[in-house]
Structure 1
Amino acid sequence: MSESTATIRDEILQSITDIFGIGIDDSHQIDQGYLNLKWKIETDIGSLFAKQYNKTRYPEHLVQGLEISLSHQNDLYNQGIRVPQLFQQQGQYVLRTPSQERYVLMRSCQGEILQPGTANAHQMYSLGKTTGYMHKLLNSHRAKQPLHWNIRSKEEMQKHWERRWSDAVSMGCEKTLAALEIQRDIIDETDIGLFSGCEQGWCHWDLFVDNILFTPNSVSAVLDFDRLNYV
């Protein structure tokens, strides 16, 4: 662990104690994800999970969007969806240390991350039921919002692809070139018009195997609502 990582960890752990009066027994860093630091923390009230929001990945102007996403997570928890219980201070879910390190704190959830393609029929049924109900609740009685992301036209996709191809050629990156060849085939074969009639609404937007915990027969938790948005 680098000295800077240890400093951030220690400041966040002290902040948790100062804000919530929680006694910290131990912490274990989780090496997963991009840039954001994460820890599982053993405390006098049980196991918790803390995630620091890296200032490069999440500059300050994105924090309000995080607050909205986390407020949806909190609403889902209160309505019985299996998501982590968040801690908040004065109505804010993004917590801050004295030096303005931003982090989120929640209860740790039990369960196992599965390898893609290994879920059994009971787990898949539970996943469909859980995510269907979750998105139904997300879109109940909520006003329509501006779209967070618009699908590019095929022409825009092709121009973007050509720029990336040129960059990969100049760098001589064979792995990227091979991936771009596959992507070009997908772009050529995709009818973008199919998406014009899609329903708009709030969705998790990062729902893949690393963000779902399972018991042997069901979903035990849906994780990581940071990217939840109106799309």
Structure 2
Amino acid sequence: MIRSEEQLLEDILAACQHLIGRQLDAKPVKRGWLNLKWKVVTDSGTYLVKQYNPERYRLYKQDKLLLALNEQVRLHAAGLACPRLLTEDQTIMFASEKGDLFIVMEYCSGEVIPAGQSNARQLYELGKATGRMHRLLNDGALGSIALPVFEPPRKQVRIDHWNTLTNKLPAGISSHLADEFEVQRRATEAFSTKLLASYQSGWAHRDLWADNLLFAGDKLTAILDFDRLDYDYPQADAARAVMSCAWNEQELDMRLAYAFMEGYTEERQTAEGYLTNGLQLLWYMESTWWITGDMDNHSVPPARFAREMRWLAENMAYLPDMLDGL
């Protein structure tokens, strides 16, 4: 029997009332994919309740998800701007009587700044928080893993990928997709994969984009959604945040990129070219995610990511001069 959102929430609130108090008001938060969220006001405070959709939950590795949630607890305790998760006897993820899995966290105030519309002070605050997050995540408490999540494919494998997508297009019919794939293929041919060997792997958020950031004026109030946290590349986190917040659909605003790195380097030491190399890595990692044969059907966020990938591909050779050692 399919239950309504109201029935799901009623079942979940019954399971956590002893943690959060008596419900006074509950409103759905329409953000994210499949997982349901509610802002719940109670007689003891305001909370965000997040239900894990069974279809979405199957895509997670349970041990990795629990590790990510535990790290969020540790990061909050260390002073990072992120929501405080409620726990009970070291339990973070709870189950309702009907078997719905959920977590509860304190509700964080603030607003999401639309992609590409942040200001320099906000980027500085985000850079500082990101540097602190990376420093804490890589302080040795988690150890290391032999291989990061992203294993860069050989250049020829990636070139073959773009050629295959082109060859699958209907013959004799002009398509803008052919141009999209050609831009990526040319950028791949020009890319020096020797750079990939120089990247330093480490623990990272792995989903650090505009929709997962809350600001109150210029102040960063919360980094959200740590579900994808894993051993990968912190540089890609920095690059993802900068592209999401500092690329305005026409150009990368260098003032904002510098502001981010000014904050970041106050918390974590970096080598010259850290952001430049991170942007190159981000493109090599994400281009095949968003530039696809069905990209015309993308919803708003993936369509934005696809435009970012095109801009990066077209400007890959110019990034070192643009960022001037950043």
- TM-score bracket for this pair, using the shorter chain length: 0.7 to 0.9
**Greater displacement, 109-118 / 196-205:** 109-118
**Greater displacement, 204-213 / 37-46:** 37-46
Question: CA shift at 1:205, angstroms?
Answer: 0.7
Name the SS of the counterpart of 2:75 in structure 1.
helix
Partner residue of 1:123? 122
1:150-174 C-alpha deviation (Å, 9 max, x unpaired): 122223334444555566659x9x6
Partner residue of 1:138? 137
Distance 1:107 1:135 in 2: 23
Superposed, which structure 2 residues align to 1:1-231 within 5 Å?
Answer: 3-17=3-17, 19-20=18-19, 22-59=21-58, 62-142=61-141, 143-146=143-146, 147-162=148-163, 164=165, 179-231=180-232
Change (3 A) 1:105 1:183: farther
Amino acid at match of 2:109: Q
CA contact (8 A) 2:93 2:103 kept: yes
Name the SS of the counterpart of 1:144 in structure 2.
coil
Name the SS of the counterpart of 2:54 in structure 1.
coil
Name the SS of the counterpart of 1:132 in structure 2.
helix
Distance 2:69 2:200 in 1: 23
Amino acid at match of 1:125: Y
Amino acid at match of 1:145: I
RMSD, aligned α-carbons: 2.5
Change (3 A) 1:61 1:137: closer
Name the SS of the counterpart of 2:31 in structure 1.
coil
Tell me, which stretches of 5 or more residues in structure 1 are unaligned? none
Q: Greater helix share, 1 or 2?
A: 2
Question: CA shift at 1:107, angstroms?
Answer: 0.4
Distance 1:57 1:138 in 2: 25
Amino acid at match of 1:110: S
CA contact (8 A) 1:89 1:95 kept: no
Distance 1:104 1:176 in 2: 41
Tell me, which stretches of 5 or more residues in structure 2 are unaligned? 233-326
Name the SS of the counterpart of 1:128 in structure 2.
helix
Change (3 A) 1:188 1:57: farther
Change (3 A) 1:123 1:154: same
Distance 2:23 2:170 in 1: 51
Give the TM-score of the pair, scaled to structure 1. 0.86
1:17-75 C-alpha deviation (Å, 9 max, x unpaired): 1x526211121112221111111111112211111112222218622211100111111
CA contact (8 A) 1:94 1:102 kept: yes
CA contact (8 A) 1:69 1:227 kept: yes
Amino acid at match of 2:4: S
Question: CA shift at 1:181, angstroms?
Answer: 4.7
**Greater displacement, 53-62 / 207-216:** 53-62
Question: CA shift at 1:227, angstroms?
Answer: 0.5
CA contact (8 A) 1:73 1:83 kept: yes
CA contact (8 A) 1:214 1:221 kept: yes
Distance 1:185 1:9 in 2: 50
Distance 2:45 2:176 in 1: 44
**Greater displacement, 23-32 / 6-15:** 6-15
